[in-house]
Amino acid sequence: MDTKEFKITIERILKTNYGKSIDKAKDYEKYNALSKAVMGTIIDNWDKTAEVYAKGKQAYYLSAEFLMGRALGNNLMNLGIYDEVKKVLEELKININDIEEIEEDVGLGNGGLGRLAACFMDSSAATNIPLTGYGIRYSHGLFKQSFKEGFQIEQADNWLKYGDPWSIRCEDDAVIVEFGDEKVKAIPYDTPIIGYGTNNINKLRLFKAEPLQDFDFELFNSQEYTEAVKEKNKAEDISRVLYPNDSTVEGKMLRLKQQYFFVSAALKDLVRSFKKQHGNSFELFKDYHAIQLNDTHPVVAIPELMRILIDEEKLSYDKAWEITVATFSYTNHTILREALEEWDIELYKKIIPSVYKIVKEIDKRFIRILGQKKYSYEKINSMKIIYKGRIRMAWLAIHGTHATNGVAELHTDILKNQELKDWYELYPDRFLNKTNGITPRRWLAFCNKELSAFITELLGSDNWITDLSALKGLEKYIDDKVVLNKFLEIKQLKKEQLAVYINKNEKIEIDPNSLFDIQIKRLHEYKRQLLNAFGILDLYFRLKENPQIDIVPRTFIFGAKAAPGYLRAKGIIKFVNEIANLINNDAEINNKIKVVFVQNYRVSYGEKLFPAADISEQISTAGKEASGTGNMKFMLNGTPTIGTYDGANVEIVQEAGEENNFIFGARVEEIEKIKDTYSPKEYYETVTGLKRVVDTLIDGTFDDGDTGMFEELYNSLLEGASWHSPDNYFIFRDFADYRDAQNKVDKAYKDRLNWAKKCLMNIANAGKFSSDRTILEYAKEIWKVEAKQA
Supply the residues annotated as catalytic.
Answer: 333, 521-522, 527, 629, 633
Element (H, E) at 111: none
Q: Is 507 left (phi over 0), alpha (psi -120 to 50) or beta?
A: left
- Cα–Cα distances in Å, from 374 out to 386, 553, 685? 19, 64, 51
515 in helix, strand or coil? strand
How far, in Å, CA of 702 to CA of 691, rounded?
A: 15
- The DSSP-derived string for 248-301 is SHHHHHHHHHHHHHHHHHHHHHHHHHHHHHHTT-GGGHHHHEEEEEESSTTTTH
Q: Can you give the three-state secondary structure of 429-444, one letter per residue?
A: HHEEECCCCECHHHHH
**Nearest Cα residue to 71 out of 186, 250, 194:** 194
How far, in Å, CA of 274 to CA of 97, rounded?
A: 44
- DSSP, res 619: -
The answer to whether 565 and 247 are in contact (CB under 8 A) is yes
Count of other CB atoms within 10 angstroms of residue 312: 10
758 in helix, strand or coil? helix
- The DSSP-derived string for 169-198 is E-GGG-EEEE-SS-EEEEEEEEEEEEPTTS
How far, in Å, CA of 652 to CA of 658, rounded?
A: 9
How far, in Å, CA of 559 to CA of 129, rounded?
A: 34
Element (H, E) at 777: helix 771-777
**Nearest Cα residue to 105 out of 500, 453, 604, 481:** 604
Count of other CB atoms within 10 angstroms of residue 105: 21
Count of other CB atoms within 10 angstroms of residue 314: 10
- Cα–Cα distances in Å, from 172 out to 137, 169, 176, 269, 744? 17, 9, 12, 11, 61
686 in helix, strand or coil? helix
**Nearest Cα residue to 478 out of 761, 749, 767, 750:** 761
Give, to the nearest 10 degrees, the angle between helix 449-459 and helix 481-506. 170
**Nearest Cα residue to 414 out of 625, 580, 266:** 625
107 in helix, strand or coil? strand
Count of other CB atoms within 10 angstroms of residue 769: 26
